Chain A
């Protein structure tokens, strides 16, 4: 177990001009559960594979502990990896699949036997040890793949979308099993996923990537509440954050966010920051999450300067909540979360109150977060 450090790591595949991973800097703490998240093709697997030694590093260094591992073959790096499609050896029994790594390290037979049985017990696959991988269900195969990783105690576990082949229910179950496994074993883990819910629920910290560039590295709370830019704000959260283009204008002693349909009064703190950035009378992007928009009468009365009127276009019932898509005269609908006891028919007029303390402002051109 040890720290892992990426130092200005770049990756370019063969003759391709574009970087698959660009200037990747990261320190992974010992025993940390770190999640890489990002849309498809953003370089998550590439980064992981460079760490595993399956892919050359074009520029920069990767450290495991205090050693640079750039030139070290995978077998000497002492890491284990779970592949997206499990990559179980089809010709070997479950037992041999799990034991293979130990056999390669020339451990005595009885020790191997003990370790394999222990791993199998933890993962509840003791009864399948004699079977071949093709005689197992997807979830069982998944466990075997995990077993192959945890049977050793490596410097780090690398998991590349290990749950993406499972159905939704099993995915949730395996998710919590992996977390409790991590708590028990405490080995540094890097987990790749494109599912932001998985990232939020599992990670001690999350690395959000896009186009080979790290966007933000932070705890799930920070990433959710203070996304550094529009990309992260849009990527994390479901349904995603609402964005509205508008202008900042001084009005009656306060600063207001203006569109041609409505105006919202900023908090003192927001106004202070944005004034200092000289953004008054300039274009800006306003962001608010669906749960920070309220239909409650009290809220509407309490904050007359931060309400928006609109027409209901669509509602989505998801059990505990209902999401309303409101036409507010901008190019995109405003999505608001409501308690299911509220019911609006499509086409009805309604007013919502925006909780300005929870809203964010982003730079119009760069997309960078301006307020906290």
Chain B
């Protein structure tokens, strides 16, 4: 009985208080201890978010308090007003940055997911001589920080002649090793029989990929979409390195110019705090929308 209620609860994904109590009762001793140990960690992980939200609403004198406070005492929307005022005085209108960001994020997310899936499929289901080495190299790419490859990338982008184009934004982001790895792990789980059955049913390789493989790795696709979205949305590197024209730069780049770009790091701290919150909203929305699928992914893949 209790078990079935638990299952029903998982389906709803909204937790009522009595559900919580029930879950607690079903927990074993050891699990309770683990929960107690993990709770502070969870709170600790939450702190930056709390800080982010509060910071955006702090009046100027609170922003520079030392030691800094987490919770805002006199909340104000002044920072947002300041940000708005600032954005009206730029040479390139902020709407242009926003537009660039949306285009770049949209294109790169799609590119990352599509190439990730198309790369993972042969690695998982059609191993060829040397496919293990290829996978190893892709994994190896995870080890390099973007800074380490900035110069080679610059040279590549320059020789391709795609500086100051959207392609220059998208191309450096397309390869997403984590995505390839995750999708491959998921595809490994698909029984070969399914694909053989489809072959006998008369399906071509591409049909098998689109109608059987992709639907079955849907949760993984959702997960890497979020990862891709985040990395594309927050990316300033391509704007800094490959875009000399201001009109081609993106929103996160603009936000970063509010403070660190200037010698005086005290000015515009309020606007920067408001900007940080605004930048954070879209990934949060995307995550909340697709979180259910993502959580099943993580449960399956053992990522968390």
Residues of A near any B CB (own CB < 8 A): 52-54, 73-75, 77, 79-81, 83, 85, 87, 89-91, 100-101, 104-105, 148
Q: How far is the CB of A303 from chain B (nearest CB, A)?
A: 55
| Cβ–Cβ < 8 Å partners of A148 in chain B | 197, 201
Which listed residue (B197, B202, B203, B207) contacts A87, Cβ 8 A? B197
Checking B191, B200, B204, B216 against A52 with a beta-carbon cut-off of 8 angstroms, the contacting residue is B200
Q: Which residue of A75, A90, A91, A105 contacts B199 across the interface (Cβ within 8 Å)?
A: A75
Residues of B within 8 A of A (CB): 191, 193-194, 196-204, 207, 211-212, 215-216
- Interface pair B200/A89, CB less than 8 Å apart: no
* Complex partner residue of B200 from A80, A85, A90, A91, CB under 8 angstroms: A80
Complex CA–CA separation, A362 to B188 (angstroms): 50
Whether A91 contacts B215 by the Cβ 8 Å rule is yes
In the bound complex, how far is the Cα of B170 from the Cα of A226, in angstroms?
Answer: 74
Question: Shortest Cβ distance from A17 into chain B, in angstroms?
Answer: 20
Minimum CB–CB distance from B187 to chain A (whole Å) comes to 14
Q: Quick check: B200 and A81 within 8 Å, CB to CB? A: yes
Instruction: List 10 additional A-B contacts (Cβ < 8 Å) besides A54-B199, A89-B194, A101-B201.
Output: A74-B196, A75-B199, A75-B201, A75-B203, A80-B200, A89-B197, A91-B215, A100-B203, A104-B203, A148-B201
Q: Which 10 A-B pairs have the closest CB atoms?
A: A104-B202, A87-B193, A101-B201, A91-B215, A87-B197, A75-B202, A74-B199, A83-B193, A74-B200, A81-B200
Nearest CB in chain A: distance from B84 CB, A: 47
Query: Which of A54, A90, A100, A101 has a CB less than 8 Å from the CB of B196?
Result: A54
A90 contacts across to B, CB distance below 8 A: 194, 216
Chain A CB within 10 Å, residue with most, of B191, B193, B203:
B193
Which A residues lie within 8 Å of B191 (CB)? 85, 87
Taking CB atoms, residues of chain B closer than 8 Å to A87 are: 191, 193-194, 196-197
- Do A79 and B200 touch across chains, with their CB atoms under 8 A apart? yes
Q: Are A101 and B202 interface neighbours, CB within 8 A?
A: yes
Check B197–A83 contact: CB distance below 8 A.
Answer: yes
Residues of B within 8 A of A89 (CB): 194, 197-198, 211-212
* Complex alpha-carbon distance, A100 and B203, angstroms: 9
What residue in chain B is nearest A49 (Cβ atoms)?
B196
Specify which chain A residues have a CB less than 8 angstroms from the CB of B196 in the assembled complex.
Answer: 52, 54, 74, 81, 83, 87
In the complex, A230→B201 CA distance in Å? 41
CA A158 to CA B204, docked complex, whole Å = 20
Least distance between B220 CB and chain A CB atoms (Å)? 14
Q: Could you say which residues of chain A place their CB within 8 Å of the CB of B201?
A: 75, 80, 100-101, 104, 148
Chain B residues, Cβ within 8 Å of A83: 193, 196-197
Residue contacts A-B, CB under 8 angstroms, 25 given: A52-B196, A53-B200, A54-B196, A54-B199, A54-B200, A73-B199, A74-B196, A75-B200, A75-B201, A75-B204, A79-B200, A80-B200, A81-B196, A81-B200, A85-B191, A87-B191, A87-B193, A87-B194, A89-B194, A89-B197, A89-B211, A90-B194, A91-B216, A101-B201, A104-B203
Q: Which of B197, B199, B207 has the most CB of A within 10 A?
A: B197
Residue ID in chain A nearest B202 by CB atoms: A104
Please give, as numbers and ranges, the residues of chain A lying within 8 Å of B200 by CB-CB distance.
52-54, 74-75, 77, 79-81, 101
For B193, what are the chain A residues with a Cβ–Cβ distance below 8 Å?
83, 85, 87
**How distant is A97 from chain B, measured CB to nearest CB, in Å?**
9
Do A104 and B207 touch (CB < 8 A)?
Answer: yes
Closest residue of chain B to A82 (Cβ to Cβ) is B197
Residues of B near A53 (CB, < 8 A) are 199-200
* A89-B207 Cα distance, complex, nearest whole Å: 13
Of A52, A73, A91, A105, most B-chain CB atoms within 10 Å:
A91
Nearest CB to that of B190 among chain A residues? A90
In the complex the two chains form, what is the Cα distance from A77 to B193 in whole Å? Answer: 18
Instruction: Out of B197, B204, B212, name the residue touching A91 (CB < 8 Å).
Output: B212
Q: With A and B bound together, what is the CA distance between A85 and B202 in angstroms?
A: 20
Residues of A within 8 A of B212 (CB): 89, 91
With the chains together, A313 CA to B201 CA distance in Å? Answer: 55
The reply to whether A81 and B197 contact each other, CB–CB distance below 8 Å, is yes
- In the bound complex, residues from chain A placing their C-beta under 8 Å from that of B211 are 89
Provide the bound-state CA to CA distance between A327 and B203, in Å: 60
Question: Complex formed: what's the CA distance from A85 to B196 in Å?
Answer: 12
Which chain B residues border A104 with CB–CB below 8 Å?
Answer: 201-203, 207
Chain A residues whose C-beta falls within 8 Å of the C-beta of B202 in the assembled complex: 75, 101, 104-105
Contacts of B204 in A (CB 8 A): 75
Smallest beta-carbon distance B200→chain A, Å: 5
A81 to B199, CA, bound (A): 10
A91 to B214, CA, bound (A): 10
Residues of B within 8 A of A105 (CB): 202
Neighbouring A residues of B215 by C-beta, 8 Å:
91
Q: Which residue of B lies closest to A54 (CB)?
A: B196
For A76, the closest partner residue in chain B by CB is B202
A54 CB → nearest B CB, Å: 5
In the bound complex, how far is the Cα of B192 from the Cα of A83, in angstroms?
11
Most buried by A among B199, B200, B207: B200
Q: Which residue of B lies closest to A83 (CB)?
A: B193
A52 to B195, CA, bound (A): 13
- Minimum CB distance partner of A100 in chain B: B201
Shortest Cβ gap from B129 to chain A (Å): 12
A75 CA / B199 CA spacing, docked (Å)? 6
Query: Once the chains are docked, how many angstroms separate the CA of A89 from the CA of B193?
Result: 10
Bound Cα distance A77, B215 (Å): 27
State the CA gap A101–B211 with chains docked (Å): 12
Task: Tell me the minimal C-beta distance from B210 to chain A in angstroms.
Answer: 11
Contacts of A80 in B (CB 8 A): 200-201
A133 vs chain B, min Cβ distance (A) = 11
Distance A217 CA – B131 CA, assembled complex (angstroms): 43
A15 to chain B, nearest CB (A): 13
CB proximity of A81 to chain B, nearest CB, Å: 5
Contacting residues, chain A, for B207 (C-beta < 8 A): 104
Known contacts A75-B203, A85-B191, A87-B191; A100 and B216 CB within 8 A of each other: no
Within 8 Å CB of A79, what residues of B? 200
Which of B196, B204, B207, B215: most chain A CB closer than 10 A? B196
Q: Whose C-beta in chain A lies nearest to the C-beta of B216?
A: A91
